[in-house]
Structure 1
Amino acid sequence: MKQTILVRRPSDLTVAWAQQIVDKHDANTKVARVDVVDVDIGTTTRVCVAVEHNGPSTLPSRWFVKLPSLSWRARMITTLPRLLQTEVRFYNELAEAVPLSKPVCLAAQSRFGRGSTLVLADVAEFAGVPSSANDTLTLEQAGLVIEQLACSHARFWNNAHRDPNYRWLAGPIRLLEDALGTALAVPLMKRGLRLAGTHISSVLHNPAIHYARHRRAAMRFLSDAPKTLVHHDCHPGNLFWNKNRSMVGFLDWQLVRIGEGVSDVAYFLATALNPEMRKLHEAELLVKYARTLADNGITDVDNSLLVQRYRAHLTYAFEAMVVTLAVGGMMRLDCNLELIRRTAAAVEELDAFSVLPI
């Protein structure tokens, strides 16, 4: 029987468990102690552990472990679409092909009915600095992220959906996730709008509920474009940096899928910049995105159409943050409200709902 590293709770992270993982990398290394440093419960249970061992310095001693969420609300939303299982499969099958910096994966395993466990090196082990979800990026940092996204999107442009190695990203699990999102869209949107209060202008309430009622048609429109591999959850809390913030890496690949590249750009700019900064610079950042695509061989991008598609995809960023609030327990409340404020401002200023043919 294949050895399992699957665990369900932080108390299961024992010396014997850690030894199984270490053995995969260096059979001569022995684990002496495992200490749970921090536990954060959101869409998954994220546990930082210190692992004392006698191995080489190249073998990390601080690990970041992702388990199924201990929050029943978050688990209710994430279990059916198998979000953690998706991230495990991403690290096992796709990560090496994606030209973006990612954490070092030490182990990743899923079994039907048994759950999933993902073990990454803590980015701090290699002088990485993780962001908070409500961090505000500078123009220079935003430009760097946009360039990295464009390079990755170009790598898979109009071919990922044809490659059998990537088809599972648009398979039954993604269809189930979309169906679940559509079925719950109206009640979750109404609850989220109510909980957000003054963070969302009343002007947006009716268009947002109309969008929720016609979500299936909106998703069809948003997916009708040249396809690539997208992160689909590119907010500041899913980024990490080197110490001087001149290099960026990407965390949390639970929602990775086949989609339109500018969807990542819209989600990122709507969540990562203050509304004033975004308003001043989003046009030049979209030009940078198109120029970087062209530098990587994608020369058939229509800039005016890109702007329209960018506006349209802002609606999903808004929905994602409102639904996160409605479900509860998936993001720190202050972070969630700040990202709602930012995405709502983007949607209102650019009249994003009006772009959708619904």
Structure 2
Amino acid sequence: MTGRMPPAVSIPRSPADVTPQWVETVLGTEVRSTDVTPIGTGQTGATYRLAVRYAAEDSQLPDTFAVKLSSQDDAVRDRVALGYRSEHAFYTDVADVVRVPIPRHFHCEISDDGGDFVLLLADMAPAVQGDQIAGCTADEAELAVRALAGLHGPTWCDPRWPEFQGLVMSTATEDAMKGLGDVAVMAAQMTLDRLGSRMTAEDRDLITESMSAVTPWLTADRDRFALMHGDYRLDNLLFTPDRSHVTVVDWQTLGVGLPARDLAYFTGTSLMPETRSALDRNLVAAYFAELSEYGMADYDFDTCWRDYRVGMLQVPFLSVLGCAFSVATDRGDDMMLVMMQRGCQAIRELGSLDLVRGT
């Protein structure tokens, strides 16, 4: 190993930096060669499949990995540095606490400014990413909601998490919640300017009305909280081909809040409205049954169902923020539009705004 030049960088900035020397450094074993190929579109990060050939024929390490780097676009990289910090915090400080199914991670490192980031994960192939626009089946939805309880249960009402440094959207103070409410109102108008012509008047009005209620929505029910994924939807789930197992990825949006917001966001965005309407109670019951295994004796199903109904405002909340502050793409616009349409219908059917208003 001595005399190899140039030395491996500490944090790869591009796939060219994912060299045999770097892999040797993080895995602690001699590597003969590496091959790096892109996975996905890399909108906020750049993900690659890493194939490794070891010097030892009997190595117990995997032959392939997924390696996630910061975006190759400097403007995107600077804008989402907080997200990289969140993912780094999750894998270094949270992953061993929760029971949500995640890929095994082998290495995670971030620069002081948060701009350079690397995450080395087990390759989950042949698992496939969910399709946000196409939606999922009832069986896939049940897998996903049961898995979600493995995040919420172990962190339920634990006072260390509201002050956790890895949070992207903190609501620890009244000022923070008011600030998010003001941002939501602004983002709603930006979203309607961009996509409003493709929406019904009823949905446009509901987006405006629900985003004007974000501050009271965030301030209610603060006695029930847990760590939240923050973007728990199909594009961030990997399903095995036989749909017997799901793995959760992309931890760049960690937050703390009413846990059922994650649950409602998933069902509200990932199921066709008619399927979601038929399965609402069954899916909440499956989630609640799994959650109950963690011992929340003072949390009953009726409260969980109410939280789910209130939590459905998470759909327009995250959708307008994502739409307003992201680069426009055809698929991105189509996806945001579908998510908002589904979420608006769910809010109307569940009476979510009436609950927030207390009417």
**1:84–1:180 Cα change, 3 Å:** farther
How far apart, in 1, do the equivalents of 2:206 and 2:357 lie? 12
Match of 1:168 among 164, 172, 189: 164
Match of 1:69 among 68, 71, 93: 71
**1:88–1:162 Cα change, 3 Å:** closer
The match for 2:4 is none
Q: Is the 8 A contact 1:290 1:301 kept in 2?
A: no
Q: Does 1:137 align with 2:136?
A: yes
**1:291–1:236 Cα change, 3 Å:** same
**1:293–1:214 Cα change, 3 Å:** closer
- TM-score relative to the length of structure 2: 0.82
Q: Tell which deviates more after alignment, 255-264 or 237-246.
A: 255-264
Residue 224 of structure 1: how far off its partner (Å):
1.3
Q: Does 1:83 align with 2:83?
A: yes
**1:113–1:72 Cα change, 3 Å:** closer
Residue 86 of structure 1: how far off its partner (Å):
1.2
The match for 2:316 is 318
Q: Identity across aligned pairs (percent)?
A: 23
Residue 108 of structure 1: how far off its partner (Å):
0.5
- TM-score relative to the length of structure 1: 0.83
Match of 2:61 among 52, 56, 59: 59
Tell me the number of residue pairs that the alignment of Structure 1 and Structure 2 aligns.
344
The match for 1:33 is 34
How far apart, in 2, do the equivalents of 1:249 and 1:201 lie? 35
Match of 1:328 among 326, 330, 335: 326
Residue 97 of structure 1: how far off its partner (Å):
1.9
The match for 1:292 is 290
RMSD of aligned Cα (Å): 3.1
1:136-188 CA distance string (max 9 Å, x none): 22212212222222344222222x2247xx84158797359868744533332
- Map residues 271-282 of structure 1 onto 2, 5 A cutoff: 271-282=269-280
**1:173–1:214 Cα change, 3 Å:** closer
The match for 1:249 is 247
Q: Is the 8 A contact 2:88 2:108 kept in 1?
A: yes
Q: Is the 8 A contact 1:37 1:47 kept in 2?
A: yes
Q: Does 1:15 align with 2:11?
A: no
**1:281–1:345 Cα change, 3 Å:** same
**1:255–1:290 Cα change, 3 Å:** same
Residue 272 of structure 1: how far off its partner (Å):
1.6
How far apart, in 1, do the equivalents of 2:166 and 2:350 lie? 29
Q: Does 1:209 align with 2:211?
A: no
Structure 1 residues not aligned, in runs of 5+: none
Structure 2 residues not aligned, in runs of 5+: 1-7
Amino acid at match of 2:190: R
**1:144–1:78 Cα change, 3 Å:** same
How far apart, in 2, do the equivalents of 1:139 and 1:290 lie? 17
Q: Is the 8 A contact 1:73 1:327 kept in 2?
A: no
Amino acid at match of 1:14: T
Residue 274 of structure 1: how far off its partner (Å):
0.8
Residue 91 of structure 1: how far off its partner (Å):
0.7
**1:344–1:45 Cα change, 3 Å:** farther
Amino acid at match of 2:26: I
**1:212–1:78 Cα change, 3 Å:** farther
Q: Is the 8 A contact 1:266 1:313 kept in 2?
A: yes
How far apart, in 2, do the equivalents of 1:287 and 1:320 lie? 24
Residue 6 of structure 1: how far off its partner (Å):
1.6
Q: Is the 8 A contact 1:41 1:329 kept in 2?
A: no
**1:89–1:247 Cα change, 3 Å:** same
How far apart, in 2, do the equivalents of 1:151 and 1:87 lie? 17
Q: SS at 2:299's partner residue? A: coil
The match for 2:219 is 220
Residue 213 of structure 1: how far off its partner (Å):
4.3
Q: Is the 8 A contact 1:5 1:21 kept in 2?
A: no
Q: Tell which deviates more after alignment, 82-91 or 56-65.
A: 56-65
Q: SS at 1:59's partner residue? A: coil
Structure whose residues are more often helix by fraction = 1
